[in-house]
Amino acid sequence: RKSVVLSFPVSGSVTLSNGAQAMTVRTLVNGSGNLLPPGVGNSPLTIGASLTVAPNQARGQYSGSFNLTVNYQ
């Protein structure tokens, strides 16, 4: 049986920013359930996470990026 393994960055190593303001992303998880192997069909990829939000965090749009490794075994 083949499987797909997702590898996320270490918790706390991803930051979302909005100018001088920032929030730390913690505990990235795969919310997609079972992913289909390549060639079998389409599998939507849903990723969830927890954010560390400061008590006086400024409102606004925060953005950032991270690497996601998808390993088909």
* pLDDT tens digits, 12-66: 899 999 999 999 998 888 776 666 666 666 667 788 889 999 999 999 999 999 9
Side-chain-side CA neighbours of residue 27 (13 Å): 5
Residue 10 has pLDDT above 80, yes or no: yes
pTM for this entry = 0.67
